[in-house]
Chains A and B, each alone.
Chain A
Amino acid sequence: MSAIETENLTKIFGNRLIAVNNLNLRVEEGSVYGLMGPNGAGKTTTVRLLLGLLRPSAGTVKVFGQHMTFNSANLRRRIGYLPTHPRFPPKMTPIKYLSFIGKLFGLDNEVSTPRLSKLLRAVDLLPAASREIGNFSTGMTTRLGIATALMNDPELLIMDEPTAGLDPAGRKTTLDLIKELGREKTILVSSHILSDVDRICSHAGVIDEGKLVFSGTMKDLKKIVGTTSIHLVLEGDIDAFCTKLGQIDGIVDFEKRGNHELQISFNPEAAIAATTAEIMVVISESNLEVIAFSTGATKVEDAFLKLLEEDESRGFLRAVEG
């Protein structure tokens, strides 16, 4: 069953800006869905339409099979929402605010109080529990936003740029938390940080100029690139290494980026592990030091860029395509 389903969803602001264009989105229950797109692609507008904060110009939004409207208070009872840069009443303390949110969701004190203290502990805000929210840093505000989104123990979590403004440690903790929550909840994460989506999502959609240009599993998204690649940062004589690379079977292409970085693309038919092992041997023989080794993220990035380019290149055809 779909947790979220939109049909021909369109939002036009003031007859001037088409923010969401005929969007058909389906998020299955139990999935962690990453909604990716460049800035201004329509991610936040989509999220606000899903929550019933904006009225669609055309099309429909269904959450758990029910139409979402401005007054769907009961439906929102099942949803947790983390906005990009959450804004809360500045004079309230986290305890008071979470208690207020608990009451808005109709939770009894017996349920609300232990839950808010558990959440404040989980997001590491216990030491600041009696401070006014107005004095919080961006990271603390986001963490409070996460606690707020979980206060009603929602079945569906909608998170708009959850790692925006967080330091690396905060970012890691947030992503780990989302991954953990994804085991028992349906999650929609909107982000333009592709490595984040790659790390936590099982499914992804790419939105460009308000239109969904891809929707499927992360595996499907990576297949769009057609090759598997690794990214290396090396210390030493990289040119000599590059000449040896050409002799390894299974490598389709490699690109030198600056004096230390290499992007190596494999033939998808090749035995990746064996080819990677061969590369490591050559690195060792060439007396190079591996500073960094990574896979995946750039692949999602490549797929993302490829989808956007393809969408652009279709030009006027986009008008007649589904």
Chain B
Amino acid sequence: MTSSFWVLLRVDLERVFRSRIVLLWVVAAAFLGVLSTLNPETSLVSGTVTQGLSFFISIWSLVVVGLSASAVSEEKGEIADSVLSKSVKRHEYILSKFVSRIVLVFTVYAAISSSLVALALRMKVDNSDLYGLTFAVLIVGLALVALVNMGIMLSTILPNTVMAIVALLVVWYAMTLLFPLVDLDFLSPGSLMTRLPNIIQGVWNREEWNLVVSFGLLSAASLAISVAHFSNKDL
């Protein structure tokens, strides 16, 4: 990757990490994480961690939708003028967007989820398996990466941010709520949430692998479509 990619990535990371929405997200997610560890109804580590991680799929996915679906479309007016008329290749620009949003979401997620796990292990009855805990955190992270990638793809393809956000919300909540009803469990963040307690206790079988593969493929396909589309797009 050439220096333009790293320059674009650094500038974009600086910008997103300094945004107020990210700060609010971190504060709110930390607050909710602490609340779920203090919840007396869940006495086991698996229950507490499941609840904490589920917030990322159900509530914080809204923030991720906003951050990813606006990545390209919100810069629409200035992309050509201030970036792509310079010494920059199309794929460098779009890849910098993917990497910056994935780094942002994963950093916030990793910070909150690891704190949640540490607190739960201290305060609750430990019924977890170390590998299971690690896999649970990673698989929810993978689902979030799939969401980020789909968001950037829609942001690249659709004409404006509002359309991209609406489309992503429809897709994500359809995947979460409707896919399990039509036997598409392996594509559903909803079914992932129901499997989390078992995963945390060390249960890992074919269904879990299916989720990993489908979220991985979804991420890769979104990335490929986005790069291919943006590389051939008139600006």
In the bound complex, do residue B232 and residue A48 qualify as a contact, i.e. CB atoms below 8 Å apart? no
Shortest distance in angstroms between A185's beta carbon and chain B's nearest beta carbon?
Answer: 17
In the bound complex, do residue A70 and residue B231 qualify as a contact, i.e. CB atoms below 8 Å apart? yes
Size bracket of the A interface: 20 to 34
In the bound complex, do residue A104 and residue B234 qualify as a contact, i.e. CB atoms below 8 Å apart? no
B195 interface hit (Cβ, 8 Å): no
**Given A73-B89, A87-B82, A152-B86, 10 extra CB contacts under 8 A:** A53-B85, A54-B235, A55-B232, A70-B89, A70-B232, A71-B231, A77-B87, A86-B81, A104-B7, A106-B3
Expressed in whole angstroms, the Cα–Cα distance for A7 and B82 within the complex equals: 27
Contacts of A187 in B (CB 8 A): none
In the bound complex, do residue A101 and residue B232 qualify as a contact, i.e. CB atoms below 8 Å apart? no
A81 interface hit (Cβ, 8 Å): yes
Contact with B along A78-114 (1 / 0, CB 8 A): 0101010011110100000100110111100000000
In the bound complex, do residue B87 and residue A100 qualify as a contact, i.e. CB atoms below 8 Å apart? no
B8 nearest CB neighbor, chain A only: A104
In the bound complex, do residue A105 and residue B87 qualify as a contact, i.e. CB atoms below 8 Å apart? yes
B78 interface hit (Cβ, 8 Å): yes
In the bound complex, do residue A53 and residue B7 qualify as a contact, i.e. CB atoms below 8 Å apart? no
> What are 10 A-B interface contacts by the 8 Å CB criterion?
A54-B234, A54-B235, A70-B89, A73-B87, A76-B86, A83-B80, A86-B82, A88-B81, A104-B87, A106-B4
In the bound complex, do residue A87 and residue B7 qualify as a contact, i.e. CB atoms below 8 Å apart? no
B15 interface hit (Cβ, 8 Å): yes
Shortest distance in angstroms between A143's beta carbon and chain B's nearest beta carbon?
Answer: 15
Shortest distance in angstroms between B170's beta carbon and chain A's nearest beta carbon?
Answer: 26
B91 nearest CB neighbor, chain A only: A71
Contacts of B82 in A (CB 8 A): 86-89, 97, 101, 148
Shortest distance in angstroms between A86's beta carbon and chain B's nearest beta carbon?
Answer: 5
With A53-B80, A83-B81 as contacts: A100 and B235 at CB distance below 8 Å? no
Contact of B78 among A55, A76, A89, A104 (CB under 8 A): A89
Contact of B235 among A48, A86, A87 (CB under 8 A): A48
Shortest distance in angstroms between B78's beta carbon and chain A's nearest beta carbon?
Answer: 4
Residue among B8, B75, B89, B234 with the most chain A CB within 10 A? Answer: B234
Expressed in whole angstroms, the Cα–Cα distance for A124 and B85 within the complex equals: 24
| 5 closest Cβ pairs, A-B complex | A87-B78, A103-B7, A77-B87, A81-B85, A87-B77
Contact of B4 among A51, A81, A97, A104 (CB under 8 A): A104
Expressed in whole angstroms, the Cα–Cα distance for A86 and B86 within the complex equals: 13
A15 interface hit (Cβ, 8 Å): no
In the bound complex, do residue B87 and residue A76 qualify as a contact, i.e. CB atoms below 8 Å apart? yes
In the bound complex, do residue A71 and residue B90 qualify as a contact, i.e. CB atoms below 8 Å apart? yes
Contact with A along B1-40 (1 / 0, CB 8 A): 0111001100100010000000000000000000000000
A77 nearest CB neighbor, chain B only: B87
Contact of A101 among B78, B84, B86, B90 (CB under 8 A): B86
B88 interface hit (Cβ, 8 Å): yes
B85 nearest CB neighbor, chain A only: A81
A313 interface hit (Cβ, 8 Å): no
Size bracket of the B interface: 20 to 34
In the bound complex, do residue A73 and residue B235 qualify as a contact, i.e. CB atoms below 8 Å apart? no
Q: Which residues of chain B in 56-92 are interfacial with respect to chain A, using CB atoms and an 8 Å cutoff?
A: 75, 77-78, 80-92
Q: Which residues of B contact A (CB under 8 A)?
A: 2-4, 7-8, 11, 15, 75, 77-78, 80-92, 231-232, 234-235
Contacts of B81 in A (CB 8 A): 81, 83, 86-88
A74 interface hit (Cβ, 8 Å): yes
Expressed in whole angstroms, the Cα–Cα distance for A1 and B85 within the complex equals: 23
Expressed in whole angstroms, the Cα–Cα distance for A2 and B40 within the complex equals: 78
Shortest distance in angstroms between A283's beta carbon and chain B's nearest beta carbon?
Answer: 50
Contacts of A79 in B (CB 8 A): 85
Contact of A53 among B11, B75, B92, B234 (CB under 8 A): B234
With A53-B235, A54-B234, A55-B232 as contacts: A104 and B86 at CB distance below 8 Å? yes
Contacts of A86 in B (CB 8 A): 81-82
Contacts of A81 in B (CB 8 A): 81, 85
A11 nearest CB neighbor, chain B only: B234
Expressed in whole angstroms, the Cα–Cα distance for A105 and B232 within the complex equals: 23
Shortest distance in angstroms between B20's beta carbon and chain A's nearest beta carbon?
Answer: 11
Shortest distance in angstroms between A262's beta carbon and chain B's nearest beta carbon?
Answer: 44
With A53-B80, A89-B82 as contacts: A73 and B3 at CB distance below 8 Å? no
Shortest distance in angstroms between B221's beta carbon and chain A's nearest beta carbon?
Answer: 22
In the bound complex, do residue A51 and residue B7 qualify as a contact, i.e. CB atoms below 8 Å apart? no
In the bound complex, do residue A106 and residue B235 qualify as a contact, i.e. CB atoms below 8 Å apart? no
Contacts of B15 in A (CB 8 A): 89, 91
Shortest distance in angstroms between B67's beta carbon and chain A's nearest beta carbon?
Answer: 16
Shortest distance in angstroms between A79's beta carbon and chain B's nearest beta carbon?
Answer: 8
Contacts of A97 in B (CB 8 A): 82
